[in-house]
């Protein structure tokens, strides 16, 4: 577990990502509403309320930037699926996200959050395709792994790996449980690799 991430703090919430200087490195977290994205962010930063969790899915409606340190950030992207907003707003989110993927030079990779009981949704495939198109590294967290026994959870992991193995850029995939705090070290190792900057090592 890397204590660097425990110092992460809220920076800005906006749909205009140009409001945050495009310097240093950042990793974005994407996921269908109710997949456990906010809980995963809170678990990885060992904070109870850094990212907003809610019984009403789809509450994250902007890009939320968190500062790890002066040169590294985590970004919580809008959730999709259950959000009760108009088609016009959904379309605006989609345009903003695609612009972010295409234009953001500091973006080092995407953490895609999937509920292990409902992996590879239509939204998940869209994110996988975007990452492949923009040649962005992708790491998948199969969250809520504690909801399944180890055998079925491992089988789901292997099935998702097999499904994506023939992708042009196969993602890395892991089991994760925010409530049981499992998979945190493995996820931190990915963040460490992606957020490593010349002359500014992860400590």
Say how many C-beta atoms besides its own lie within 10 A of residue 88's C-beta.
8
Domains of the chain: 3-195 (3.40.50.300)
pTM of the model: 0.91
When pLDDT is cut at 50, 70 and 90, the band that residue 15 belongs to is confident
CA–CA distance, 67 with 74 (Å, rounded to integer):
7
Tens-digit pLDDT profile for residues 52-79: 764 444 455 789 999 999 999 999 998 7
Whether 201 and 18 have beta carbons less than 8 Å apart is answered as: no
Whether 93 and 16 have beta carbons less than 8 Å apart is answered as: no
Tens-digit pLDDT profile for residues 126-166: 899 999 999 999 999 999 999 999 999 999 999 999 999 98
Q: Give the 3-state DSSP-derived string for the chain, with helices as H, strands as E and coil as C.
A: CCHHHHHCEEEEEECCHHHCCCCCEEEEEEEECCCCHHHHHHHHHCCCCCCCCCCCCCCCCCEEEEEEECCEEEEECCCECCCCCCHHHHHHHHHHHHHHHHHCCCEEEEEEEEECCCCCCHHHHHHHHHHHHCCCCEEEEEECHHHCCHHHHHHHHHHHHHHHCCCCCCCEEEECECCCCECHHHHHHHHHHHHCECCECCC
When pLDDT is cut at 50, 70 and 90, the band that residue 12 belongs to is very high
CA–CA distance, 64 with 78 (Å, rounded to integer):
8
Whether 34 and 115 have beta carbons less than 8 Å apart is answered as: yes
pLDDT, average across residues 111-116: 97
Tens-digit pLDDT profile for residues 159-189: 999 999 988 789 999 999 999 999 999 999 9
Whether 160 and 119 have beta carbons less than 8 Å apart is answered as: yes
């Amino acid at each position: 577990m890397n204590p660097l991430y425990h110092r992460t703090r809220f920076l800005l919430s906006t749909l205009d990502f140009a409001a945050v200087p495009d310097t240093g490195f950042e990793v974005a977290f994407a996921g269908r509403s109710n997949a456990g994205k906010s809980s995963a962010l809170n678990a990885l930063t060992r904070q109870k309320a850094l990212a907003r969790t809610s019984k009403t899915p789809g509450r994250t409606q902007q890009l939320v930037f968190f500062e790890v340190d002066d040169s590294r950030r985590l970004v919580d992207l809008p959730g999709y699926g259950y959000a009760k907003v108009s088609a016009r707003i959904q379309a605006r989110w989609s345009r903003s996200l695609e612009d972010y993927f295409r234009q953001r030079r500091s973006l080092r990779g995407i953490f895609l959050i999937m509920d292990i009981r409902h992996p590879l949704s239509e939204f998940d495939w869209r994110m996988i395709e975007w990452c492949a198109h923009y040649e962005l590294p992708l790491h998948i967290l199969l969250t809520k792994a504690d909801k399944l026994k180890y055998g079925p959870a491992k089988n789901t992991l292997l099935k998702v790996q097999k499904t994506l193995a023939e992708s042009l850029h196969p993602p890395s995939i892991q089991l994760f449980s925010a409530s049981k705090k499992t998979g945190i070290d493995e996820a931190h190792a990915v963040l460490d690799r992606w957020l490593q900057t010349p002359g500014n090592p992860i400590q």
